[in-house]
A and B are shown apart, each in its own frame.
Chain A
Amino acid sequence: MHQVRTLRRQVVSTVAATILIAAGWAGAALGFQEAPELKALAAAGKLPPVEKRLPREPLVLKPLESVGTYGGTWRTATFGGGDSEIERSIGYTRLVRWNPEWTEVIPDIAKSVEVNDNATEYTFTLREGTRWSDGAPFNADDLVWWNENVLRNTKITPAAPDWLIAGGKPVVVDKIDDYKVVFKFAAPNGLFLMNMATVRGSDILAAAPAHYLKQFHKDFNPNGIDALVKAAGATDWAQLFNNKIGFPGRWRDLGRPTLDAWVLTAPYNGTTQVAAERNPYYAKVDTSGNQLPYFDRVTIDVMQDTQAIILKAISGEIDMQNRFIETTDARAVIVQNQQKGGYGLFIARPAWSNALLITLNQTHKNPALRAVFSNKDFRIGLSYAINREELNQLIYAGQAKPYQAAPREGTALYDEKMATQYLEYDVKLANQHLDKAGLTKRDAEGFRLGQDGKRITFAIDALTGSPIQVDALELIQRYWKAVGIDMQPRPAERSLIFSRLQNNDNDGLAWVGGGGYDFLGLLDPKWYFPHEYESSFATAWGLYYQNPKDPNAQEPSAAAKKQMDLYQQVQKAPTLAKQLEAMKELLAITRDEFYVIGTNLEPDRVGIVKTNMRNVPKVIPSTSFYMTPGPAKPETFYYK
């Protein structure tokens, strides 16, 4: 009766995998190999031998192209003091992670995970002999300690994150034996493993090294804690503790034990350079039994200006990276300078779909605008009025293609009609739909009048930081003027845009997004239904979904309510197949409601990779949900 779903590495089920595992075992029998520096340290007695540092059955990673050689530094760059680049490049270690293709969740530090059939209990099996980067053992007690003393300690965690809550209660972790734990939820939580694979999942292992963190916890160090708080200049012990485990504070703490491939040697203080060196206890090996990672060191230069990062890239000072240099305006210079910078390109495929989508707030406080925006014919008319091909040529150098805010082609959720409806540029059809929406009267300047006899005029917010969006919006202003609609582009600073959203004061928004990859749609459905206030096509309904008592919330439409029910089904479903099934039903409503006007499919972006670097995939999804480039296994990259 206990039907069990087991997530295993994809290869495990194949014959080839059996051979791989056998090779791994053979490696164990013959002795594992390690980097020369570590070998010297072990020979000098400063480190235990490699067999003692690795788990009994280390995770065997199959390099994409070939088994590598040790050495070299991976140089990247990041922007400012709170960016997630460090978490993505050297911090992508969890119990479970994404596979490189982003089609499933696979075990990482855990050996396997089993889910019961109503998605309330997740049983993780750990690898015996896994060690923290300081050599201390990692086992079930660490996870239980995190759960009892960090997650469920209200001093440290006043409110647990949503993905760890189900049925109103935070998850409870029980120990079964030293290498087996079960995460128990009070209600089904089907998206738990996916959430763990995203940026959110880092928080568990970062707060799990009990042997290190106990000194900063009042319950475990009642006498010494005050001195530590004082020395750190923190307001209280809870803040000190959160600085040790939270992002980005944990990257400013040099002593913190991790399970990552490289261990911090220069902290992320937000000014100069972050550096990390090989973790001698890293629990993964390649198919020949070589302990990973191959690179000796990783450095991340902290820049205050993204232009400087682009300059760094073309001067050959960056070895592999896509973030900050993949923008549409930088593309030409990055592509041109390949030879000089000594790099080639890989495709960083945007995980979302639309390069520019436009929302019109159907829950607008002004009843006249609300009535107009809620009219589907109005939105269809505006969609037909956009000359997407011209936008594509002028803004995206012809690299994009007309597309609605819909899942990408080739994904499980892809719906051709949804992606291609109302895409043609047809002014006559546009006028017909706008007339059908009841906007037949026009003023002296040719702009259409609303039911109240006043001109329909509204502003679309766009980020001042994205000049491309503003340019595109100005073209759209012209297209819409041609059909008698007065839209004003309103570039604004992003905090201002967000505070307008929180108060339901927005007319509409120009943004990137609109689903894309399956997992992005499942985890971040804000463009598919009113999920939060960022669902700016119906801000007040989104507020309602998060908290019906919010002062700005409004009762959603029947269709939106149905979608909200369906999304709760997605969250409860125990298998990916069932989740996708419910999601498809939800998307059919999105398609019929046509909430969001899409323009063009975001063109593929490019990242750079040094010509002699190996094992880097040709295509890597680009989004924080995937944690680019973490799941592409940087620990297996090497220089030839």
Chain B
Amino acid sequence: MAGFIIRRLLYMIPMMFAISVVTFIIIQLPPGDFLTAMTARLASQSETIDPGVIAGLRERYGLDQPWAVQYWKWISGILLRGDFGQSFDWNKPVSELIWARMSLTMVVSVTTLLFVWAVAFPIGIYSAVRQYSVGDYFATFFGFLGLAIPNFLLALVLMFVSAQYLGQSVGGLFSPLYINAAWSWAKLGDLISHMWIPVIVLGTGATAALIRIMRANLLDELNKPYVDMARARGLSEIRLLLKYPVRVALNPFVSTVGWVLPHLVSGSVVVSIVLSLPITGPLLLNALFAQDMYLAGTFILLMSMLTLIGTLISDLLLAWLDPRIRNG
């Protein structure tokens, strides 16, 4: 087992290297550079920037150098000093920017994940066991609705409802009163009262998908002979269900855990922009638009890293969960 893990970790090194090169090339591909993007942004607001200042900045940021030099500057900083470079747009270290938003990002993402699981598992199991019942049709109907409604639209609608009818402030995770206040129980309560919109918006699609997957997987298992066998032996229905078919039906979930990790960081880009959430999503999108290459590059690198780690974790989980894989 230890050998397996070490081998897998070693494979990651060339993989990460390849990803970092491809990332950097892709970020460099759009015409122009950060300063072009900045000039363009200002011009679209009918502002101008002094050409002399632009020339000075281009030199300061090293944007006039070939991409290989810029890549080396970036990657050597990461490998030798753990320095992910400076964001041009923010004039701050990239790592500081990302970490500053990480805690709230994690809170939002993990809450959403728990919400999704808490809702989807019982409903999925129920609609498989009671196939074609009223409850199943109900869950299926809302499941498809949840899949079909685009997240950003749901976000706009819920935001409008909460502002118009519930009297909450528009966007963000806090009321104006608490935005710049220190953490307290009241602030936590305020956060919770604002959390429901992003959690519902981010969760509906995933919940619906999960319900469908769970239902389909479980239906496959329920008609297998081992279920009848266990039932014939007098196992209680609940115990039987949870111990055998549900456990088998979980396999496809576990193998997708690898995607959950990067999703935690970037899965909510569009929604968090619509809702103006102070999390990493908008930062990533703006970095790409502004061609703020070290920030964007670090983000993509981070997500690739998380995907690789997530895949490893899901492989290990699968082995733990399913003896057939462990011993096969």
**A308 close to B159 (CB less than 8 A):** yes
Residue B28 at the chain A interface, CB threshold 8 Å: no
Interface residues of B in 260-296 (CB under 8 A from A): 272-278, 282, 286, 289, 291
B residues less than 8 Å from A532 (CB atoms)? 51
Asked if A500 is an interface residue, CB under 8 A from chain B, the answer is yes
Is A317 touching B47 in the complex (CB atoms < 8 A)? no
Say yes or no for A371: interface residue by CB 8 A criterion.
no
Q: Does B102 contact A (CB under 8 A)?
A: no
**Residues A81 and B156 in contact, CB atoms below 8 Å apart:** no
CA gap between A418 and B44 in the complex, in Å? 25
Residues of B within 8 A of A312 (CB): 163, 169-171
Centre residue among A301, A305, A307, A532 by max chain B CB count within 10 A: A305
Q: Are B274 and A305 in contact (CB under 8 A)?
A: yes
Question: Which listed residue (A75, A159, A273, A498) contacts B39, Cβ 8 A?
Answer: A498
With a CB–CB cut-off of 8 A, which chain A residues contact B92? 233, 243
Task: Report which of A161, A311, A465 forms a contact with B50, defined as CB distance below 8 A.
Answer: A161
Q: How far is the CA of A498 from the CA of B40 in the complex (A)?
A: 6
- Residue from A233, A243, A500 in contact with B96 in the complex, judged by beta carbons closer than 8 Å: A233
B44 near A494 with CB under 8 A, answer: yes
The yes or no answer to A453 lying at the interface (CB within 8 A) is no
A530 to chain B, nearest CB (A): 14
Q: A271-B101, A304-B273 are in contact. Are A159 and B52 (CB under 8 A)?
A: yes
* B170 engages A271 (CB within 8 Å): no
Q: Name the one of A83, A266, A303, A352 contacting B46, with C-beta atoms under 8 angstroms.
A: A352
Give A82 to B41 CA distance when docked, in angstroms. 10
- With A307-B274, A495-B36, A496-B31 given, is the CB distance from A158 to B44 under 8 Å? no
Given contacts A273-B176, A312-B171, A546-B51, contact A242 B36 (CB under 8 A): no
Q: Which residues of the other chain, A, contact B179 by a CB distance below 8 angstroms?
A: 266, 272-273
Tell me whether B172 and A311 are in contact (CB under 8 A): no
Interface string of B17-47 (1 = CB under 8 A from A): 0000000000000111000110111011111
Residue A521 at the B interface, CB < 8 A?
A: no
Among candidates A159, A273, A623, residue contacting B55 with C-beta atoms closer than 8 Å: A159
A160 interface hit (Cβ, 8 Å): yes
Residue interface bits B288-313, CB-to-A below 8 A is 1, else 0: 01010000000000000000000000
Q: Which residue of A lies closest to B279 (CB)?
A: A271
Bound complex: CA A243 to CA B60 (Å): 13
Contacts A301-B176, A312-B170; is A463 near B44 (CB within 8 Å)? yes
Min C-beta distance of B155 to chain A, whole Å? 9
* Contact flags A483-526 to B (C-beta < 8 A → 1, else 0): 00000000000111111101000000000110000000000100
A243, B91: Cβ atoms under 8 Å?
yes
Residue of B nearest to A161 (CB): B50
Q: A249 near B: Cβ within 8 Å? A: yes
Interface pair B272/A311, CB less than 8 Å apart? no
Interface residues of B in 217-266 (CB under 8 A from A): none
The CA-CA distance from A425 to B179 in the complex, in Å, is 55
Q: How many angstroms from the CA of A227 to the CA of B155 in the assembled complex? A: 45
Whether B286 and A524, one on each chain, are in contact in the complex, defined by CB atoms closer than 8 angstroms, is no
- B59-100 Cβ-contact flags toward A at 8 Å (1 or 0): 110000000000000000000000000100111110010001
Contact partners of A597 in chain B: CB under 8 A: none
Is there contact, CB below 8 Å, between B91 and A311?
Answer: no
CA A563 – CA B36 in complex, angstroms?
Answer: 27
Chain B residues in 8 Å Cβ range of A82: 41, 89
Check A160/B91 contact, CB under 8 A, given A239-B86, A498-B43: no
* Beta-carbon contact of A495 and B32 below 8 Å: yes
Nearest chain B CB to A233's CB is how many angstroms away?
4
Chain A residue with the shortest CB-CB distance to B174: A272
Would you list which residues of chain A between 140 and 188 have a CB under 8 Å from chain B?
157-163, 165
Q: How many Å from the CB of B24 to the closest CB on chain A?
A: 18
Given contacts A158-B56, A272-B179, A311-B160, A513 and B46 within 8 Å (CB-CB): yes
Residues of A within 8 A of B131 (CB): none
Considering only CB atoms, which chain A residue lies closest to B285 in the complex?
Answer: A304
A286 and B27 CA atoms in complex are apart in Å by 54
Contact between B50 and A315, CB atoms less than 8 A apart: no
* Interface residue B48 (Cβ < 8 Å from any Cβ of A): yes
Contacts of B13 in A (CB 8 A): none
From residue B154, how far is it (CB to closest CB) to chain A in Å? 14
Q: How far is the CB of A539 from chain B (nearest CB, A)?
A: 14
Asked whether any CB of chain A lies closer than 8 Å to the CB of B164, the reply is yes
B180 interfacial contact with A, CB 8 Å: yes
Q: How many angstroms from the CA of A500 to the CA of B278 in the assembled complex?
A: 34
Number of interface residues of B (CB under 8 A): 55
Query: Are B36 and A498 in contact, CB atoms less than 8 angstroms apart?
Result: yes
Instruction: Using CB atoms, name the residue of chain A closest to B281.
Output: A304
CB pair B44 A84 closer than 8 Å: no
Q: How many angstroms from the CA of A311 to the CA of B275 in the assembled complex?
A: 11
Judged by a CB distance under 8 angstroms, whether A270 is at the interface is yes
Nearest chain A residue, comparing its CB with the CB of B42:
A624
Q: Which residues of B contact A49 (CB under 8 A)?
A: none
Q: Which residue of A lies closest to B167 (CB)?
A: A315
- A527-542 at interface with B (beta carbon < 8 Å): 532, 534
Q: Given A303-B276, A502-B32, verify A157-B41 contact (CB < 8 Å).
A: no
Bound-complex Cα distance A163 to B60 (A): 21
B53 interface residue, CB < 8 Å from A? yes
Assembled-state Cα–Cα distance A623/B46 (Å): 7
In the bound complex, residues from chain B placing their C-beta under 8 Å from that of A161 are 50, 52-53
Contacts of B276 in A (CB 8 A): 302-305, 308
B46 touches A500 (CB 8 A): no
- B-contact bits for A414-429, CB 8 A (1 contact / 0 none): 0000000000000000
List A273-305 residues whose CB lies under 8 Å from chain B: 273, 275, 299, 301-305
Report A-chain residues with C-beta under 8 Å of the C-beta of B52. 159-162, 165
**Least distance between B32 CB and chain A CB atoms (Å):** 3
- A494 interface neighbour in B41, B46, B174, B286, Cβ under 8 Å: B41
Q: Which residue of B lies closest to A266 (CB)?
A: B180
Contact A496 B32 (CB under 8 A): yes
Chain A residues positioned under 8 Å from B272 (CB to CB) = 304
Which A residues are CB-close (under 8 A) to B101?
Answer: 271
Q: Chain B: which residue is nearest A316 at the CB level?
A: B163
A80 contacts chain B at the CB level, 8 A cutoff? yes
CA distance A169 to B100 in the complex (A): 42
> A200 at the A/B interface (Cβ < 8 Å)?
yes
B273 → chain A, closest Cβ, in Å? 4
* Contact A272 B278, CB 8 Å, known A81-B89, A532-B51: yes
The answer to whether A159 touches B48, judged by C-beta atoms less than 8 angstroms apart, is: no
Q: Per-position contact with A for B109-123: 1 when CB-CB < 8 Å, else 0?
A: 000000000000000
Among residues of A, the one whose C-beta sits closest to the C-beta of B47 is A624
Q: Are A162 and B50 in contact (CB under 8 A)?
A: yes
Least Cβ–Cβ distance between A566 and chain B, in angstroms: 20
CB under 8 Å from chain B, chain A span 221-240: 233-235, 239
Q: Are B90 and A301 in touch, CB under 8 angstroms?
A: no
**Docked pose: A156 CA to B115 CA in angstroms:** 51
Option from B32, B46, B50, B170 in Cβ contact (under 8 Å) with A498: B32
5 example contacts (A-B, Cβ-Cβ < 8 A) are as follows A163-B50, A265-B180, A269-B100, A495-B31, A512-B46
6 new A-B contacts at CB < 8 Å, known A158-B56, A303-B171? A81-B89, A273-B180, A304-B272, A307-B274, A317-B169, A524-B46
